């Protein structure tokens, strides 16, 4: 027993063993029962075992005790709570191979391994999928998720905008990475650093907090009657404030409503013009919205337009474990500024981590991102893009939008529910503006307070709650590769119908 972990056979059989573990059927219930949750919690080891339970007993414990205490989450197409995505079969299998191969992708070593080539190729194929020119986005890497990417984006923006301010008064390069934020701002002659955004995701405030920009320096510059959109005159006013450096953060799209901060190319061109005039950086948080760029059909005209021009940004955040439907933990980051990357992220003076003389343009991930040792998280992305191609991904997203719009139409026609965050006065217009998120509430205020809990206790579908205009609201986020309007819509309408029926009977 004590030698088990040194047994080479165990490693040889690992990949077969792993795939046999994970072929679990999709549970009908999206949430575990109270009993299986209690059992799972009770079953946990209370302290570290001295001699260990051994491999087979441990695996039994995981599968039979802990497993039933886990919600289906993104394994179920009926889980609409958060934008969680799922895992395509190609991505899920590749993810198990990642564990079996157990690579560390931190230094680009072209004579020893192909890992960094796989990462770079996956990122350039992803560029093509998102209609971005791979040549224009040389600073690119996979991250732990969109939060990690937003931290990288604001860190690059911070480095850039302070250097731009400094360039006005001095020839020396002023680097926050080198000097620290206080000294760099002092040398650049600025005393304020701000992030200007509309309805930013919470992780953007978190990034500002981590980076010494400050959550209070994330300023809302939205229109009163359209809180997802920029108030351009107000934005210009804030950019002009003397002694201030700014990052413009574009929410594309917003997580409660799926609405986009910009309406089209013209608006992005105006943001670009202002950013260039005031030395600002444009960061797009496109965690799931950036995938709108896959769409081509006239039915998706408003989304296609909203995504046009996002390529004018300096940096882009995207999520892998959401609409790309690869396993956790995977996000991606792109920036046009190759030279900024090592100024912020260089892992300096570690001779043992040197690349040797690589003749290609691939930068070592440890010098351009947050981590040193890194999982080979590029492989599931590479596998899934290779397996399904751009047509496969477009068709996947079209099915998700078809379902969310069918739900929205059902709610709009209903006497008991109300569709929220509608754009336009006509029904067709409102439906035509919906991406893959549907925000709604029950018209009866008392029922509305309990709505999310009642949906959850149906255990047939899962939704999450939020607030809209000061009142509770419910949110559908359709993001799973399995989404299918014929199979899923009847389940959704049945649950929503039953909730109203039983409320009225009460």
Ligand X SMILES: *Cc1c(COP(=O)(O)O)cnc(C)c1O
Distances (CA, A) of 123 to 115, 120, 128: 12, 5, 9
CA dist., res. 126 & res. 131, Å (int):
9
**Site membership for ligand X, residue 483 (CB under 6 A):** no
Report the nearest approach of ligand X to the CB of residue 248 (Å): 15
Return the residue of 288, 376, 382, 481 that touches ligand X, per CB under 6 A: 288
CA dist., res. 442 & res. 447, Å (int):
6
For residue 366, what are its two tokens?
A: 């440890």
Return the residue of 120, 285, 402, 488 that touches ligand X, per CB under 6 A: 285
Return the residue of 87, 106, 115, 147 that touches ligand X, per CB under 6 A: 147
Task: Indicate the residue among 319 and 402 with the shorter CB distance to ligand X.
Answer: 319
Residues from 47 through 106 that contact ligand X (CB under 6 A): 83
Task: Indicate the residue among 83 and 91 with the shorter CB distance to ligand X.
Answer: 83
- For 397, counting Cβ atoms within 10 Å of its Cβ (0-12 exposed, 13-18 middle, 19+ buried), the class is buried
Report the nearest approach of ligand X to the CB of residue 69 (Å): 22
Stretch that binds ligand X, among 126-134, 139-147, 332-340, 420-428 (CB under 6 A): 139-147
The count of residues in the chain is: 506
Task: Indicate the residue among 201 and 459 with the shorter CB distance to ligand X.
Answer: 201
Task: Indicate the residue among 376 and 435 with the shorter CB distance to ligand X.
Answer: 435
CA dist., res. 429 & res. 334, Å (int):
33
- Cβ atoms 435, 292 nearer than 8 A: yes
Q: Which residues is 471 bridged to in the sheet? A: 468
Torsion angles phi and psi, residue 314, rounded to 5: -85, -35
Report the nearest approach of ligand X to the CB of residue 150 (Å): 6
Report the nearest approach of ligand X to the CB of residue 1 (Å): 39
For residue 312, what are its two tokens?
A: 């004018």
CA dist., res. 378 & res. 120, Å (int):
8
For residue 340, what are its two tokens?
A: 């900024």
DSSP letter string over 462-505? B-EEEEETTEEEEEEE---TT--HHHHHHHHHHHHHHHHHHHHH
Residue with tokens 């892998």: 320
Task: Indicate the residue among 150 and 166 with the shorter CB distance to ligand X.
Answer: 150
- Cβ atoms 274, 307 nearer than 8 A: no
Stretch that binds ligand X, among 55-63, 93-101, 161-169, 285-293 (CB under 6 A): 285-293
Report the nearest approach of ligand X to the CB of residue 201 (Å): 3
Return the residue of 287, 324, 383, 434 that touches ligand X, per CB under 6 A: 287
For residue 402, what are its two tokens?
A: 């078809």
Stretch that binds ligand X, among 23-31, 97-105, 283-291, 416-424 (CB under 6 A): 283-291
**Site membership for ligand X, residue 439 (CB under 6 A):** no
Task: Indicate the residue among 146 and 248 with the shorter CB distance to ligand X.
Answer: 146
CA dist., res. 484 & res. 391, Å (int):
17
Return the residue of 255, 323, 397, 430 that touches ligand X, per CB under 6 A: 255
- Cβ atoms 425, 433 nearer than 8 A: no
Closest by CA to 80, choosing from 135, 129, 31, 7, is 31
Report the nearest approach of ligand X to the CB of residue 415 (Å): 32
CA dist., res. 460 & res. 441, Å (int):
19
Return the residue of 107, 123, 126, 146 that touches ligand X, per CB under 6 A: 146
CA dihedral sign of residues 389, 391, 392, 396: positive
CA dist., res. 289 & res. 259, Å (int):
9
Stretch that binds ligand X, among 100-108, 145-153, 345-353, 358-366 (CB under 6 A): 145-153
Task: Indicate the residue among 108 and 293 with the shorter CB distance to ligand X.
Answer: 293
Residues from 305 through 334 that contact ligand X (CB under 6 A): 319, 331
**Site membership for ligand X, residue 201 (CB under 6 A):** yes
**Site membership for ligand X, residue 145 (CB under 6 A):** yes
Task: Indicate the residue among 94 and 284 with the shorter CB distance to ligand X.
Answer: 284
Stretch that binds ligand X, among 143-151, 236-244, 408-416, 495-503 (CB under 6 A): 143-151
CA dihedral sign of residues 372, 125, 201, 496: negative
**Site membership for ligand X, residue 292 (CB under 6 A):** no
Binding site for ligand X (CB under 6 A): 83, 145-147, 150, 201, 203, 255, 285, 287-288, 319, 331
């Amino acid at each position: 027993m004590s030698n088990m972990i040194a047994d080479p056979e165990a490693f040889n059989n690992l990949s077969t063993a792993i795939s046999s573990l994970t072929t679990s059927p999709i549970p009908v219930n999206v949430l575990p029962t109270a009993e299986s949750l209690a059992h799972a919690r009770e079953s946990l080891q209370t302290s570290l075992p001295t001699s260990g339970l051994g491999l087979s007993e441990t695996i039994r414990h995981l599968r039979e005790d802990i497993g039933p205490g886990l919600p289906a989450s993104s394994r179920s197409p009926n889980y609409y709570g958060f934008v969680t995505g799922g895992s395509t079969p190609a991505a899920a299998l590749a993810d198990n191979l990642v564990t079996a191969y157990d690579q560390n992708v931190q230094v680009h070593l072209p004579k020893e391994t192909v890992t960094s080539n796989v990462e770079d190729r996956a990122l350039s194929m992803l560029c093509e999928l998102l209609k971005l020119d791979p040549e224009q986005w040389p600073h690119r890497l996979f991250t732990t998720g969109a939060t990690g990417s937003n931290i990288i984006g604001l860190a690059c923006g911070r480095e850039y905008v302070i250097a731009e301010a400094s360039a006005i008064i001095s020839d020396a390069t002023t680097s926050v990475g080198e000097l620290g934020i206080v000294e760099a701002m002092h040398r650049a002659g600025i005393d304020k650093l701000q992030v200007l955004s509309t309805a930013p995701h919470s992780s953007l405030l978190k990034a500002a907090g981590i980076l010494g920009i400050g959550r209070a320096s994330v300023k809302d510059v939205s229109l009163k009657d359209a809180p997802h959109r920029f108030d351009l005159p107000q934005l210009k006013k804030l950019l002009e404030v003397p002694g201030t450096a700014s990052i413009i953060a574009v929410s594309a799209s917003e997580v409660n409503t799926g609405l986009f901060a910009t309406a089209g190319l013209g608006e992005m061109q105006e943001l670009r013009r202002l950013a260039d005039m005031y030395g600002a950086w444009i960061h797009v948080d496109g965690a799931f919205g950036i995938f709108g760029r896959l769409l081509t059909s006239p039915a998706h005209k408003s989304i296609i337009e909203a995504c046009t021009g996002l390529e004018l940004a300096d940096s882009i955040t995207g999520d892998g474990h959401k609409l790309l439907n690869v396993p956790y933990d995977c996000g991606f980051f792109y920036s046009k500024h190759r030279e900024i990357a090592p100024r912020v992220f260089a892992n300096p003076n570690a001779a043992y981590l040197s690349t040797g003389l690589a003749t290609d343009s691939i930068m070592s991930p440890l010098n351009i991102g947050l981590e040193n040792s890194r999982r080979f998280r590029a492989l599931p992305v590479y596998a899934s893009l290779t397996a399904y191609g751009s047509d496969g991904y477009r068709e996947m997203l079209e099915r998700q939008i078809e379902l969310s719009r069918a739900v929205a139409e059902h709610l709009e026609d209903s006497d008991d529910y109300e569709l929220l965050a509608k754009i336009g006065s006509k029904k067709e217009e409102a439906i035509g503006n919906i991406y893959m998120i549907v925000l709604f509430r029950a018209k009866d205020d008392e029922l509305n307070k309990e709505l999310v809990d009642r949906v959850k206790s149906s255990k047939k579908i899962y939704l999450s709650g939020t607030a809209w205009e000061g009142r509770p609201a419910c949110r559908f986020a359709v993001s799973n590769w399995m989404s299918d309007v014929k199979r899923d819509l009847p389940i959704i309408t049945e649950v929503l119908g039953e909730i109203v029926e039983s409320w009225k009977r009460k």
